[in-house]
Amino acid sequence: MHCTDSVGSVEPIVGGVGSDMSAKRRHIAAHFEALRRPWGATMLPVNKSFQLPSMGRGLVPLCALVALGLGAGVGVRAQPSANEPWTLEVQQLASQMPLPPGARVEVDLGAIDPRLKLAPCARITPYVPGGVRLWGRARVGLRCDEGARWSVFLPITVKVFAQAWSANQALPAGTVIDASHLRLEEVDLAAEPSPVLRQPQAAFGRALARGLRAGQALREADLKPRQWFAAGDTVRVVTSGSGFAISADGQALNAGIDGQIVKVRIDGGRVVSGRATAERRIEVML
C-alpha cells in the first residue's frame, strides 16, 4: 500500500541542502539558522512518496489515519445503517452461535470511530475477532477485501431473547424464593454475564443477594450461595474413584456452602477435604 500526495516529488525542507531555493525560502532559512547551528543539525530532503509496512489483521492501516489530514473519501459511515450490505452478514454471524431452543437474536450496531476516514471499499467482509463471543456487548471486525486495504472494529450489542423465570413483582434483597415469586417471561439472556436459571427449583429456598424489579430475569448471581450445613454438623463423606465409592460420617469443621471446599474430621481424627454438594454431604474425588 502506498500513500502519495498530489505532488509526489522530492522537496527539500526549509534550511536543507537544496540549492534552488527562492528568495523567500532563503529568508525563512536564515531566520532558523541561529537555531540550527548550536546542534550542528543538517536537514535532508524528504521523499513524500513512501511505502508503509503491511499491518496485522485487525489493525487500522496508518494510511487510514493519515487520510484524516489528506481528505480521503469515507468508505464506511461512522453510524452504520441497517441497509448496509454487510449488516445482514453480521446478523448471521450472531445467529450461528449455540442458542437455547426457541431463542431469537437481535443485533444493535454501534458506531465506528468517527475520527477514521477510510478509503472507499467495494466489498466489506465482517468477521469475528479471535477470542470474541458474540453475546451481549461485543465487537466484529470489518475488513475491506476489494478496492482498498483496511480493517476496523465495530461495537455491537447482541440480544438473545428467550423464555426464562423472572420476578413477578419487586423482590427486595434477602427474599427467600418460592414458586409464588416467579413467572415465565421473555427476557434478554445476554443482558448480563450471569446465566439465567432455567429450572425454578434451583432457586427455591434460596435468598436473594440483591433485589429484583418486576420482570427482571432471575440469575445465578442474584442468589446467595446455598448453605447445606453448618460447622459442627455431622455430614456424610463420600469418596469416589474409578469404579468404586466409599462413605463415612464425620464432623464439619466449617460451613458447607454449595460448591465450596469443606474440611471434615472423620474417625481416628484424620481431616479430609471435599466439596459440599447436598444436604449434609460432601464429595471427595480421587
Average pLDDT, the chain: 76
φ/ψ bin of 206: left (φ > 0), alpha (ψ from -120 to 50), beta (otherwise)? beta
Q: Which of 269, 255, 207, 270 is nearest to 282 (CA)?
A: 255
Q: How far from 33 is each of 14, 28, 114, CA to CA, in Å?
A: 10, 9, 41
Contact 155, 110 (CB under 8 A): yes
**DSSP state for residue 286 in the 8-state scheme:** -
Cα–Cα distance between 61 and 222 in angstroms, integer? 44
pLDDT at 97: 82
Contact 162, 174 (CB under 8 A): no
Question: For residue 129, which amino acid is it?
Answer: P
Cα–Cα distance between 140 and 87 in angstroms, integer? 11
List the grid coordinates of 6: 498530489
pLDDT at 44: 31
Q: Report phi then psi at 171, rounded to 5.
A: -120, 120
DSSP string, 78-93: SS--TTSTTHHHHHHH
Q: Summarize pLDDT for 158-210 with one digit per residue, the tens.
A: 999 999 999 999 999 999 999 999 999 999 999 999 999 888 998 998 999 99
β-sheet bridge partners, residue 162: 187
Q: Which domains does the chain have, with CATH numbers?
A: 2-51 (no CATH), 71-160 (no CATH), 163-222 (3.90.1210), 227-285 (2.30.30.760)
The residues, ordered by sequence, that sit 6+ positions from 267 with a Cβ below 8 Å of its Cβ are 248, 249, 250
Cα–Cα distance between 187 and 168 in angstroms, integer? 13
Alpha-carbon dihedral angle through residues 212, 215, 218, 221, given to the nearest 10 degrees: -40
pLDDT at 160: 94
Residues of the chain with pLDDT under 50: 1-75
Contact 206, 223 (CB under 8 A): yes
Cα–Cα distance between 235 and 96 in angstroms, integer? 46
